[in-house]
């Protein structure tokens, strides 16, 4: 699965860079809600079914490099990840703050100057700035305890909707599904944790001529 995604992303990147000269067309500020959880398997391979999504935040800045219908979009963003669960009546929760560098490839499927509908895929690398875990009322620092790895590499599926308001201004709505392609558990045993998230982002963009 991981290798397929990487291959697909590499092919997309090669494809879009082969489309001729790319041009910086937009600078966008984006932000919204990030509904995050984990995929977790314990040391015996059993999946934790009690993990639930938790609503957190994400925001960032990205740049559209456009060549025809193809958009290559580097992005710098802040993303909160985590999850919630419970065990024997005690609340369990996690929250981590990541600084992400993402690269997305989108294809504009509309032939319109006014609207853009662009599904896409992306790859991202995140660094955990800090994080915390609660077991009941007890707080643990994830960064201090090093219970999770600081780096999180992930894949994204995107659905981007954009309206060009004026020649210089655009607004956008984007849905993202993100999934870790490397597990972040730092345990010595065979536990495996991956970040999973679904985000809805609003954006405002400056169109460059």
Partner 1 sequence: MKKILILTLALATSFSFNAQQEAPPQGINYQAVAIDNSGKEIVGIDVTGKPVAEKEIRVRFSIVKSSTSGTLTYRETHLLTTDAYGLFNTVIGQGIPDSSPMAFSEIDWGTGYHFLKVEIDIKGGTDYKDMGTQQLWSVPYALYSKYADAAGNGIESVTDNGDGSLTFTYIDGSTYTTSPLTGLAGAQGPQGEPGPQGPAGANGQMA
List residues binding partner 1 (CB under 8 A). Answer: 38, 40, 42-43, 48, 51, 83, 85, 87-90, 92, 94, 133, 135-137, 140, 142, 145, 147-148, 185, 187, 189, 191, 193
We find the least distance from the C-beta atom of residue 187 to partner 1, in angstroms, to be: 8
Instruction: State which residue, 171 or 179, has the beta carbon closest to partner 1.
Output: 179
We find the least distance from the C-beta atom of residue 31 to partner 1, in angstroms, to be: 26
Instruction: State which residue, 30 or 83, has the beta carbon closest to partner 1.
Output: 83
- Tokens 């065979």 -> residue: 190
Instruction: State which residue, 40 or 105, has the beta carbon closest to partner 1.
Output: 40
Instruction: State which residue, 76 or 187, has the beta carbon closest to partner 1.
Output: 187
We find the least distance from the C-beta atom of residue 140 to partner 1, in angstroms, to be: 5
We find the least distance from the C-beta atom of residue 188 to partner 1, in angstroms, to be: 11
Contact between residue 81 and residue 98 where contact means Cβ atoms under 8 Å apart: yes
Stated length of the chain: 209
Instruction: State which residue, 71 or 196, has the beta carbon closest to partner 1.
Output: 196
**Secondary structure, 3-state, the chain:** CHHHHHHHHHHHHHHHHCCCCCEEEEEEEEEEEEEEEEEEECCCCCECCCCECEEEEEEEEEEEEEECCEEEEEEEEEEEEEEEEEECCEEEEEEEEEEEEEEEEEECCCCCCCEEEEEEEEEEEEEEEEEEEEECCEEEEHHHHCCECCEEEEEEEEEEEEEECCCCEEEEEEEEEEEECCCCECCCCCCEEEEEEEEEEEEEEEECC
We find the least distance from the C-beta atom of residue 155 to partner 1, in angstroms, to be: 19
We find the least distance from the C-beta atom of residue 38 to partner 1, in angstroms, to be: 5
Instruction: State which residue, 15 or 86, has the beta carbon closest to partner 1.
Output: 86
């Amino acid at each position: 699965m991981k290798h397929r995604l990487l291959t697909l992303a590499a092919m997309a990147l090669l494809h879009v860079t082969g489309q001729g000269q790319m041009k910086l067309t937009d600078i966008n500020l984006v932000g919204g809600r990030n509904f995050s959880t984990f995929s977790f398997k314990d040391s015996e391979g059993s999946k934790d079914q009690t993990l639930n999504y938790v609503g957190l935040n994400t925001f960032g800045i990205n740049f559209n490099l456009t060549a025809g219908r193809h958009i290559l979009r580097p992005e710098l963003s802040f993303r909160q990840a985590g999850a919630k669960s419970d065990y024997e009546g005690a609340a369990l929760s996690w929250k981590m703050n990541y600084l992400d560098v993402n690269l997305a490839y989108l294809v504009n499927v509309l032939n319109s100057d006014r609207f853009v509908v662009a599904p896409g895929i992306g790859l991202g690398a995140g660094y955990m700035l800090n994080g915390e875990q609660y077991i009941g009322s007890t707080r643990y620092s994830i960064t201090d305890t090093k219970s999770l790895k600081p780096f999180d590499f992930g894949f994204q599926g995107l659905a981007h909707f954009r309206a060009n308001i004026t020649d210089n201004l655009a607004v956008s709505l984007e849905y993202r599904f993100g999934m870790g392609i490397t597990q972040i558990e730092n345990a010595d045993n065979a536990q495996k944790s991956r970040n999973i998230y679904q985000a809805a982002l609003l954006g405002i963009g400056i169109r460059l001529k």
